[in-house]
A and B are shown apart, each in its own frame.
Chain A
Amino acid sequence: GAVVSQHPSRVICKSGTSVKIECRSLDFQATTMFWYRQFPKKSLMLMATSNEGSKATYEQGVEKDKFLINHASLTLSTLTVTSAHPEDSSFYICSAKDTGNSPLHFGNGTRLTVT
């Protein structure tokens, strides 16, 4: 089945630094990947749609300069949280699907803690 790998699973960084999260589709090619953010006891909130070879599409209210997305290949998308602050601490999850009619498959998430 479709496998999505996300790395790292946990990261702690200091306020003001940048953190990069990788999302890989291991056994399929994904022209589109999605980045979600999840707060405790809240819904997964779609942040942006990552398109291979083109600019990401950001949801309303998501700062594109803070959350940089790069989808340089059909199997890799990265999310960089720039100049991180404590309020950016959250659980970030990526997802992808391998064909038009297949469901989204999710990575195991990255727990970001900004101190």
Chain B
Amino acid sequence: EDQVTQSPEALRLQEGESSSLNCSYTVSGLRGLFWYRQDPGKGPEFLFTLYSAGEEKEKERLKATLTKKESFLHITAPKPEDSATYLCAVQGGGGADGLTFGKGTHLIIQP
């Protein structure tokens, strides 16, 4: 059974204070690891897909990296508008296309 564990559950940062969110996973045959952003009362918004260890992707102040056991979402010089819940999900090699999600990290950026 695929499993995803995210840490920390919640993180409060000052504006401009860089940090990293962790996503540890166990999966049979990783087909993809996904990062999403979710705002309160909204559906998840796609950020990145990573497919293999060593891969990195960047978008504005966010950078996602992947190893064989975990992924990190690095946030550089965050702004208050980066406040959201960040979700990590994996797609395993079992044939089904549904994703297994972690519980998310609730990020608050204080001005």
Contact = CB atoms under 8 A, between A and B. Distances in A.
B97 interface: yes
B43 interface: yes
Contact of A108 (B32, B34, B43): B43
B41 A49 contact: no
A53 B74 CA distance: 42
B43 A43 contact: no
Interface in B70-92: 87, 89
Say what secondary structure dominates the interface of chain A: strand
Nearest to B106: A41
A34 B43 contact: no
Interface residues on A, range: 20 to 34
Contact of A43 (B45, B96, B104): B104
Contacts of A103: 32, 34, 46, 49
Contacts of B43: 4, 6, 93, 95, 106-109
Interface of A: 4, 6, 32, 34, 41-46, 49, 57, 59, 93, 95, 97, 103-109, 111
